[in-house]
């Protein structure tokens, strides 16, 4: 009854609904403010001038649906509104923070798959023996640890005790590629959770696949252990992981915010945290839309790729 095309259509529709939900959710924040939004945002010492300025900047005198329409159509043109704190356009904040964040994300993604799959295959190949127990226990343990605690301990050891790496990215500006040493710890911390999760999934998938009747058949017919492991078992172990990989998008986005705060990297996460601290609502909204839509798009992309790669998933969906 459910063909592949209609599955794709339904998934795309869900993506559209999620996009709308993100935009609505972010917008509704100002509506949710108790009492007069302008007074609430003006801070501890509200002077009438500042309240008036906020009301002006956020067009609070106009009805909500008009502001939503304006804001949403502005988003389409890259106009995210104006900061309450500085009066600069929100898009300039985003432009400033974009480079470092994308650099971190790309580096992490590039290292994530080989590291996770490699560890998983290694553990599965030594199932039940020391290497497997070590990899399984360490990945299981580290997987749950918050990035900030892990990161601060790494700083203590590698920057403070050993002095090998700089403790933060302070003083390097936004051009982090020129200072690769400053990137080692952030990327390591950012990788910690997704790598562990991926390694565990690959290990479980490999062990299942290696115990399956089709691998038994390949063994029976004299196929070499190397080919069985990588050409016959691994593709089966990868398919379910790809689906789970989409979920790690959530972790990566959370992780980026924490890691930037921890290592003082001037990326989007730092901008967001500062804006939250200053209750600079237009900036928070603009960044939330960027982060939220990135998550929606990455989830959608991952699902579609998995659907294409694992033909059986479509039957189940």
Partner 1 sequence: MNAVAEVKDLRVEIGGRAIVDGVSFQVRPGKVTALVGTSGSGKTTTGLALLGEYPAGARVTGDVRVSNGLVGYVPQHPGAVLNPARRVGALLRDIARDQVRRLPRPQRRAAARTRVLHALSVAQLPEGELLLRRYPHQLSGGQQQRAVLAQALLLGASVVVADEPTTGQDALTKRRIVDQLAAVARQGIAVVLLSHDLDVVRALADEVLVMRGGRVVEAAPAEQLWLAPQHPWTAELLAAEGKMGDSPPARDGQAALQVEGLTARHRDGARSTKEAVHIPELTVRSGECLAVIGRSGSGKTTFARCLAGLHRDYAGDVLLDGVPLPRSLRARTREQLAAVQYVFQDARAAFDEHRPVLDQVARTAVRLRGAHPREALAEALHTLTGLGLTEELALRAPGQLSGGELQRTALARALLARPRVLVCDEITAGLDTVTRRALLDTLAGLLRDRPELALVLITHDLDAAAAAARIAVLDAGELVEQGPARHVLTSPRHPFTVSLVDTSVRLAAETRSRRW
Partner 2 sequence: MKTLAGIRPGRFTIGLVIIAVPLTLALLGPLLAGEPGPRAPSFTLGGGHWLGTDFVGRDVWQQVLLGGRSVVLVALAATTLAYLVALPLGLISALTHRTWLEELLMRPLDVLLAVPSLLLILLVAAVFSPGAVGLSLLVAVVNIPDAARMVRAAAAEAASRPAVEALRMQGETWWRMAVGYVGRSIARTLAADAGVRLTGVLYLVATAAFLGVGVAPDASDWAVMVDRNRTGLFVQPWAVVVPALLIVALTMGSNLLFDAALEKPHRRKGNGCERGR
131 binds, among partner 1, partner 2, none (CB under 5 to 8 A by kind): none
253 binds, among partner 2, partner 1, none (CB under 5 to 8 A by kind): partner 2
310 binds, among partner 1, partner 2, none (CB under 5 to 8 A by kind): partner 1
248 binds, among partner 2, partner 1, none (CB under 5 to 8 A by kind): none
Our finding on whether 232 is near partner 1 (CB under 8 A) is: yes
Of the ranges 23-31, 147-155, 223-231, 257-265, which one interacts with partner 1 (CB under 8 A)? 223-231
Nearer to partner 2, 152 or 315 (CB): 152
Our finding on whether 214 is near partner 1 (CB under 8 A) is: yes
CB of 298 closer than 8 Å to CB of 228: no
Q: Name residue, tokens 């090998």.
A: 164
Our finding on whether 311 is near partner 1 (CB under 8 A) is: yes
CA of residue 195 relative to chain centroid, distance: 13
Nearer to partner 2, 156 or 175 (CB): 156
217 binds, among partner 2, partner 1, none (CB under 5 to 8 A by kind): partner 1
DSSP alpha helices (H): ranges in the chain? Answer: 4-32, 37-41, 48-57, 64-76, 90-125, 130-142, 147-154, 180-210, 213-220, 225-227, 234-263, 268-278, 281-309, 313-316
Min. distance of Cβ 42 from partner 2 in angstroms? Answer: 14
CB of 217 closer than 8 Å to CB of 295: no
141 binds, among partner 1, partner 2, none (CB under 5 to 8 A by kind): partner 2
Which among 248, 263, 265, 257 is positioned nearest to 291, based on CA atoms?
257
DSSP state of 48: H
312 binds, among partner 2, partner 1, none (CB under 5 to 8 A by kind): partner 1
CB of 214 closer than 8 Å to CB of 232: yes
Which chain residues interact with partner 2 by CB under 8 A? 14, 17-18, 21-22, 25-26, 29-30, 32-33, 133, 137, 140-150, 152-153, 155-156, 160, 167, 211, 249-250, 253-254, 257-258, 261, 272-273, 275-277, 279, 281, 284, 288, 291-292, 295-296, 299
CA of residue 138 relative to chain centroid, distance: 22
Q: Name residue, tokens 């710890």.
A: 185
User: Would you state the structure tokens that stand for residue 190, as one six-digit string?
Assistant: 């950012």
Nearer to partner 1, 183 or 238 (CB): 238
- Rounded to 10 degrees, the C-alpha dihedral 260/266/268/272 comes to 80
CB of 150 closer than 8 Å to CB of 141: no
DSSP state of 274: H
Instruction: List the one residue from 231, 247, 250, 308 that touches partner 1 (CB under 8 A).
Output: 231
Residue 279 backbone phi and psi in degrees, to 5 = 50, 40
Min. distance of Cβ 258 from partner 2 in angstroms? Answer: 6
Supply the DSSP string of 142-189, one letter for each residue: HTTS-HHHHHHHHIIIIIIIS--S-SS-TTSTT-GGG-HHHHHHHHHH
Nearer to partner 2, 116 or 269 (CB): 269
Nearer to partner 1, 62 or 129 (CB): 129
Contact residues: partner 1, CB under 8 A: 1-2, 212-218, 220-223, 227, 231-232, 235-236, 238-239, 310-312, 315
């Amino acid at each position: 009854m459910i063909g592949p095309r209609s599955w794709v259509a339904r998934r795309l529709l869900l993506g559209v609904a999620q996009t709308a939900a993100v935009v609505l959710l972010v917008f509704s924040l100002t509506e949710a403010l108790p009492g007069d939004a302008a007074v609430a945002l003006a801070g501890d010492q509200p002077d009438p001038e500042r309240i008036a300025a906020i009301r002006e900047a956020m067009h609070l005198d106009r009805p909500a649906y008009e502001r939503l329409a304006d804001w949403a159509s502005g988003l389409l043109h890259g106009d995210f509104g104006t900061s309450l704190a500085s009066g600069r356009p929100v898009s300039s904040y985003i432009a400033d923070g974009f480079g470092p964040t994308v650099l971190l994300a790309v580096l992490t993604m590039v290292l994530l798959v080989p590291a996770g799959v490699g560890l998983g295959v290694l553990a599965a190949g030594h199932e039940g023996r020391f290497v497997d127990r070590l990899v399984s226990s360490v990945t299981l343990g580290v997987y749950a640890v918050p990035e900030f605690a892990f990161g601060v301990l790494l700083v203590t050891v590698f920057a403070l005790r050993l002095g090998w790496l700089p403790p933060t990215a302070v003083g390097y500006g936004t051009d982090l590629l020129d200072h690769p040493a400053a990137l080692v710890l952030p990327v390591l911390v950012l990788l910690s959770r997704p790598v562990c999760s991926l390694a565990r999934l690959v290990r479980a998938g490999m062990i299942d696949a290696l115990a399956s009747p089709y691998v038994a058949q390949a063994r029976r017919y004299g196929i070499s252990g190397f080919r069985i492991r990588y050409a016959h078992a691994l593709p089966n172990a990868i398919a379910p992981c790809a689906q789970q990989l989409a979920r790690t998008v959530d972790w990566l986005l959370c992780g980026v915010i924490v890691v930037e705060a921890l290592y003082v990297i001037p990326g989007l996460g730092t901008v967001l945290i500062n804006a939250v601290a200053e209750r600079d609502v237009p900036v928070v909204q603009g960044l939330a839309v960027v982060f939220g839509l990135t998550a929606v798009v990455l989830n959608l992309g991952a699902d579609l790729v998995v659907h294409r790669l694992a033909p059986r998933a479509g039957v189940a969906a």
